[in-house]
Structure 1
């Protein structure tokens, strides 16, 4: 090989290295803002996509929460916070589920911020997305929470704790942690209803409109009617006119969709808006909870996310 040819190869290699450096710099220029950035719309994190979790009980990254959110509800531990419980099996009847949230120091957390009138929200769902329960447990002085569950059908259940520490390393961050429990008996799985924009419960018809795409912020519009007439007497429930929770078919990833409609007395409706972000495509099972005449209604429906 001639000296001239070797010089030419060195020049080409140097030019290629410089181009690669510039390309990497360009790609990295947005990375600092992409890590938990504020999308400009309250209650979202455009970078919230599922990723493997070291906890072994799920995945990290949380859809449908704001830029301080951590986890998608499938992990028992995240960022030093852990949901612990002794019960791995539960009876097929009404029962109390006890658990503790420990912090990075290993001690039970007892200081929680109030979110939608509660310091902690607790959810239960069976693996086939049936049997949804949303309850509000009570905490003892030692940090032990007790969640009163209605009768459970046999099968595998996932139990979620949604909370925001009000002190410590995780202050101001929204966490959703979960554990699984087995309910004894013969499990009979129910097929997931096909995607539909409407659902009927207790004589009320709920319609959800919107075309959400995975990883993007979207607005969902909900309308409530009864006997073909718009409902305008929705009462506040958890400081909002409706509470909307979603679970992903297959892995049971959790999404809490944030209401945008302001509460003003006992005359909510008929139209409500929610800020939604789903980290994964596929079918999601939504549970819309609203209150009229002092009675809570829960309307389930399946929504497809592209």
Structure 2
């Protein structure tokens, strides 16, 4: 066998081996990508933790930042006029259209409700967390309390219970104008504590944008730990956050298990903030049958 032939044969063998290795690596990469995109608990970005088990409507990365009227083939369509009256209660009516463009009527129960609805003004004041009622044709009505003049964003948080989006938590939103002259309220500086109705809430944690972190909220009254928190929406506290500027939405998942009417003083939350900067947090908790809402500003690195 000539030296030239042996050299050519070795080169061909090496080329075949390289090609086989390349195909193997490509197949492995394809399988990995498929796995990361499958399942309702997967986040859309690498590095995100999956949604908390048993909470289908609370998927952080999957739900998105709530700034779009449409996502995943679903769309929030207003029935109410674009402008709302100021200073009096009003009903905001809307539908959620599915991929077939028909109103969706089949929703999963998430924290005892099929729909969670939030309203907040562009300066992050006037927070309202409501639970609309749905008519047989898929039209939802959210009973808004009196609104101050200005631009408001209205969020619908839900989980379809059928169709292509079954089991996937979504947050959609639209802006509305409330008639009248608007006066902006400056956002309070970042602070670890807030006081409401005689209760003091202290939040500990150093969250970073795009990463999963744990936040701990402690409730005290007159300097003493509060241990009589009552269940509210299957948890001892409900925590929602909005980003300064673009009003991105974040729902922080409660981790503390409910066990009767003696919750507190410390409550833990699984937190994933999509962006850095200041976030306005609204912590809702119940004592003696009364719902309290504490608000504070948290800076996310």
- Taking structure 2 as the reference length, the TM-score comes to 0.83
1:265 match: 260
- Do structure 1's residue 237 and structure 2's residue 235 form an aligned pair? no
Partner of 1:45: 43
Question: In structure 1, what is the equivalent of residue 215 of structure 2?
Answer: 220
Distance in 1 between residues matched to 2:42 and 2:194, nearest whole Å: 26
- Contact (CA 8 Å) 2:44, 2:62: kept in 1 or not? no
Query: What residue in structure 2 maps to residue 198 of structure 1?
Result: 193
Equivalent residues, number: 269
Shift of 1:34: 4.7
- The question of whether the paired residues in 2 share the 8 Å contact of 1:45 and 1:65 is answered with no
How far, CA to CA, are the matches of 1:94 and 1:102 in structure 2?
26
Structure 1 residue runs without a partner (length 5+): 1-17, 50-63
Deviation at 1:80, TM superposition (A): 1.2
Aligned match of 1:252: 247
Q: CA deviation at 1:120?
A: 0.3
Of 64-73 and 234-243, the range deviating more from structure 2: 64-73
2: CA distance, partners of 1:295 / 1:289: 10
Tell me which residue corresponds to 1:52: none
More helix by share: 2
Corresponding residue to 2:158 among 157, 163, 167: 163
User: CA–CA distance in 1 between the matches of 2:104 and 2:114?
Assistant: 12
* Residue number among 62, 67, 78 corresponding to 1:69 in the alignment: 62
The answer to whether 1:121 aligns with 2:108 is no
1:45-68, Cα deviation, whole Å (9 max, x unpaired): 37189xxxxxxxxxxxxxx94378
Distance 1:285 1:131, change over 3 A: same
**Contact (CA 8 Å) 1:82, 1:102: kept in 2 or not?**
yes
Pair 1:91-2:85 in alignment: yes
How far does the alpha carbon of each residue in 1:134-174 deviate from its partner, in whole angstroms, 9 at most, with x for none? 01110001110000000001000000000000011100000
* Gapped regions of structure 2 (runs ≥ 5): 1-18, 48-56
Tell me what 1:3 maps to.
Answer: none
Q: Distance in 1 between matches of 2:242 and 2:232?
A: 21
What CA RMSD, in Å, does the superposition of the two structures yield over aligned residues? 2.5
Relative to structure 1, is the Cα distance of residues 288 and 71 closer, same or farther in structure 2, using a 3 angstrom cutoff? same
Contact 2:244/2:280 (8 A) holds in 1: yes
Q: Deviations over 1:53-86 (max 9, x none)?
A: xxxxxxxxxxx94378233111111111111003
